[in-house]
Amino acid sequence: MPNNFTDTLFQLVRSLEKSEKRHFKLYIKRSSGNEDLKVVELFDALDKLQSYDEAVLLQKLKSIKKPQLANIKVHLYKQLLASLRLLKSTDSIDLQLNEQFDFAHILYKKGLFYQSLKILDKAKETAKANHKVNFLLSAITLEKRIETLHINRAMQSRAEQLATELNEVNNRIATLAKLSNLVMLLYGWFIENGHARNKDDENKIDAYLHAQLPSNAWEQTGFYERMYLYQSMTWYAYIKLDFLMYYRYSQKWIDTYKNTPLMIRVETGNYIKGLHTLLNAHYDLRNHQKFNEVLQDFETFALTDRVRLHDNFRTQAFIYIYTAKINQHCMLGTFAAGIKEVPYILQQLKQNELFIDEHRLMLFNYKIASLYFGEGDYSSCIDYLQKIINENVEVRTDLQSYARLMHLMAHYEIGNYELIEYLAKSVYRFMSKKDNLTKVEEEMFKFLRKSFHVTRTSMQQELQQFLTIIQQLEKQRYEARTFAYLDLASWLEAKISKKPMSEILKNKFMASKKRN
C-alpha cells in the first residue's frame, strides 16, 4: 500500500528543492564507488515517486535487490544530510560554529594545540556576537582540556580566566534552560487546554508560572534571556485572556529584535513567530491600523531571501500571514474577498503538507469556515467544520468545541431544525465532557432550545434579548475566549437588522476609524 509521508528517506527527498538536488548530484558523483552509483539510482527513483510504495520502487530499481535496499537507503540518507550540511553551512551560525569546533577538535587530536586554540578563540568571538551561549560551553570545555594537559604558559591567570568564563556560561545556560522550558510548557498547556476557563484555571497557571520562572529572570539582559522571558509572559497573558498584557509582551518580544537587529538572521524562526503573535494581539484588541502596519512589515520580510530560500521559514511565514489575512477579513467584514484567497491557501497547504502539523490544519479549516459563515455560505462552512469534527485528535479541545458550535449555528441558519435538536444535545454533551462550557455557550443553547417554539413575530424580541445578554457577557474576562472565535454579537445584530454580517462589520470598522 502507498504510504505518502511515513518513510523518513522519502520525506527528506520530497522536501528538497531543485538547487539542493543539483548540489547532491554534484556532491555524490565526486565518488565513483559502485555503492554511490546505486545511491544515485535510488535517489532518482524516489524523486519520481508521488507516494512511497516499496513494491513500485523496487520495480524501478534495476541494480538494487530487495535485501540491499535497507542498507542503501541508510547510506543515501546520510549522504543527503552531509550534502545539505555542506550547502547550508554558510547560511547558519550554528553550523558554522559546529564546523569550527570540529576543526579545532581535529587539530587537537593531531597535537596542533596552538592552532586548535586559535580557532576556538575566533569561534568564541563569533558565538558571543551571536549570543550562542551553549556553544561557548563546548568551546571553553575543550579549551580547558588543552590548556590543562598540554600548554605550559602563565597557567595561574589562564586557569582563573577559564574558570570565570565557565562559571558565567554555566549560570547563563541554567537560566536559559529554565526560561526556554517555561515557554515550551506554557505553549504545551495552551495546545492541550486552550484559554483559562475559570478562576481555578487561572490560579493553576499563576502558580505554575511562579514555580517555574527563575528568581533572577527580570534582571537578565542577554538576548535569549529577554526573548524567552517575553515569550513566557506572552503565553501566560494569552492563556489568561489578558489581551492588553498579551499585546505588551508580544511587542517587547519584537522590540528585543529591533534592539539587536543581527539576531533577526540568527533567530529568524522566533522572529516570525513574534510577528504572528503581535498580529494576533492587535486582532484581539481590534487595533486595525497597527494590525495593518505589522502585516505589511511581515509581508515585506517574507519576500527577503532569508525567508524565501528556507523551507521552514517560508512555510511559517505563509501560515502566519494567511492566518492574519483571514483574521483581517473577519475584522473588516470583507468575507467575499477572503473566500477568493481560499483556493491559493488550499494549494499551498497541499504543497507544504509535509511541514504543517494537524493543529495548524485544524486552525485553517476553522478560519476558512468562519469566512463562509460570514458570507452566508453555510453549506461550505459546514464542509470545513466537518473536517475538524471528524478528526479524532487530542489538541485544542476548545477549538473543537467552537467548531461544533459554529456547525450548529450554520444548520440553524439553513433551517435544519430537526437536525438542530439532535446536534444541540450532542454538542452540549461534548462541551460538558471537555469542561468547555461558559456562560455564553449556556445562553446559546437556551436560545436555540427556545427558538424551536417561538413564532416568527416573537423571534425579533428573542434575538434582541439574547443580544443584550451577549453584550453584557462580552465585558466578562472569562467569556472573552468565546468571542475571540465566534462573533456572536455581530451575527445577532445582522439577524435583528436583517442585514449581512459583512455590512455590520464594515459599519463597526468605519465607526472605530472615526473614533480614532
Asked if pLDDT for residue 2 goes beyond 50, the answer is no
168 assigned to some structural domain: no
Query: What pLDDT does 145 receive?
Result: 86
| Domain stop point among 70, 90, 110 | 90
pLDDT band per the 50, 70, 90 thresholds, residue 201: confident
Between 201 and 434, residue with greater pLDDT: 201
Query: What pLDDT does 191 receive?
Result: 79
Give the total residue count for the chain.
Answer: 516
Give the DSSP H or E segment for 313.
Answer: helix 311-332
Give the residue carrying C-alpha cell 560551553. 137
pLDDT per position as a tens digit, 270-325: 999 999 999 999 999 999 999 999 999 999 999 999 999 888 899 999 999 999 99
- Tell me which residue of 349, 321, 325, 346 sits closest to 337, measured CA to CA: 325
136 assigned to some structural domain: yes
Asked if 49 and 57 touch (Cβ cutoff 8 Å), the reply is yes
**Is the pTM here over 0.85, yes or no?**
no
Highest mean predicted confidence (pLDDT) among 44-58, 259-273, 388-402: 259-273
The tally of domains found in the chain comes to 2
pLDDT band per the 50, 70, 90 thresholds, residue 6: low
For 140, the domain range is 94-153
3-state SS record for 440-489: HHHHHHHHHHHHCCCCHHHHHHHHHHHHHHHHHHCCCHHHHHHHHHCCHH
Residues 85 and 98 both lie in one domain: no
Residues 124 and 59 both lie in one domain: no
492 assigned to some structural domain: no
Residues 12 and 41 both lie in one domain: yes
Residues 17 and 70 both lie in one domain: yes
74 assigned to some structural domain: yes
Residues 72 and 98 both lie in one domain: no
Residues 14 and 52 both lie in one domain: yes
Asked if 49 and 26 touch (Cβ cutoff 8 Å), the reply is no
Residues 81 and 103 both lie in one domain: no
What's the rounded Cα separation, in Å, for the pair 5 and 13? 11
Query: What pLDDT does 152 receive?
Result: 55
Asked if 14 and 354 touch (Cβ cutoff 8 Å), the reply is yes
Q: What is the mean pLDDT of residues 474-500?
A: 87
20 assigned to some structural domain: yes
Asked if pLDDT for residue 35 goes beyond 60, the answer is no
Residues 70 and 103 both lie in one domain: no
Highest mean predicted confidence (pLDDT) among 203-207, 211-215, 245-249, 432-436: 245-249
388 assigned to some structural domain: no
pLDDT per position as a tens digit, 431-483: 887 666 778 888 888 888 877 777 777 888 888 999 999 999 888 887 887 88
Asked if 227 and 249 touch (Cβ cutoff 8 Å), the reply is no
Query: What pLDDT does 1 receive?
Result: 35
Highest mean predicted confidence (pLDDT) among 241-255, 306-320, 341-355: 241-255
335 assigned to some structural domain: no
Residues 25 and 74 both lie in one domain: yes
Query: What pLDDT does 155 receive?
Result: 57
Residues 12 and 84 both lie in one domain: yes
pLDDT per position as a tens digit, 221-242: 899 999 999 999 999 999 998 9
324 assigned to some structural domain: no
| Domain stop point among 104, 126, 153 | 153
Residues 22 and 70 both lie in one domain: yes
Residue 274 grid cell? 513574534
pLDDT per position as a tens digit, 387-398: 998 876 666 777
Q: Residue 38 burial by CB count (10 A; 0-12/13-18/19+): exposed, middle or buried?
A: buried
**DSSP state, residue 260:** S
What's the rounded Cα separation, in Å, for the pair 65 and 73? 12
| Domain stop point among 90, 117, 135 | 90
Query: What pLDDT does 139 receive?
Result: 92
Query: What pLDDT does 188 receive?
Result: 85
Asked if pLDDT for residue 343 goes beyond 50, the answer is yes
Residues 102 and 135 both lie in one domain: yes
What's the rounded Cα separation, in Å, for the pair 242 and 223? 25
- Tell me which residue of 208, 221, 130, 239 sits closest to 175, measured CA to CA: 221
Q: What is the mean pLDDT of residues 94-112?
A: 92
